[in-house]
Amino acid sequence: MEKVVIVNKKDQVLGEESRNAAHKVNGLLHRGFIVLIFNQKGELLLVKRSGKKMLWPLFWDGCCSHPRLGEDYIKAGERRLKEELGFSCQLKNIDKFYYRAIYQDVGSEEEICAVLEGKYNGQIKPDSEEAADYRWIDMKELEKEIKTSPEIFVPWLKKALFLRREK
């Protein structure tokens, strides 16, 4: 059973809990992260979440997950890139933010979410259990898509992009 790190709003560790318990509609505040990967053209790598995901299946996202107990955000992001997309690269931590979002009557995310960023231009080999598709997109085009079709993107991606723009 996969566990997530339970924290308070100051991102101080309180313990661990099962992933499922943390993601109930009235779940628990836990650590998460989103990795934003850019290519040499400045395009962002978008990943369509697998249809097997409990929360936000088939929505566009970055590469995201949860750090394990004792694992920092950067190491967790590097691990997750390898697991989900078949590559890893050097990452930097941009910032983090708090959010809460409910997905239908299925569950929720309540996270302190770190925003990690890296550059990559090589081959991508997505794990079909995690990713249904991927694409590179110009940031201006992405802004247009988010304005016209916000419902196809996960809520934390929009928050991460806004935070990044503010930096």
Comparing C-alpha atoms, which of 30, 33, 32, 35 is closest to residue 47?
35
Give the type of residue at 114.
Answer: A
Q: Which residues contact 70 (CB under 8 A, 6 or more apart)?
A: none
- Catalytic choice (111, 113, 117, 130): 111
Hey, which residues does 16 pair with through a beta bridge? 5
- Axis crossing angle, helix 139-148 with helix 155-166, rounded to the nearest 10: 130
Strands 13-18 and 30-38: unpaired
Phi, psi (deg, nearest 5) at residue 49: -60, 145
CB-facing half-sphere around the CA of 122: CA atoms within 13 A: 10
113 is catalytic: no
110 is catalytic: no
- Catalytic choice (63, 64, 84, 109): 64
What residues act catalytically? 64, 111
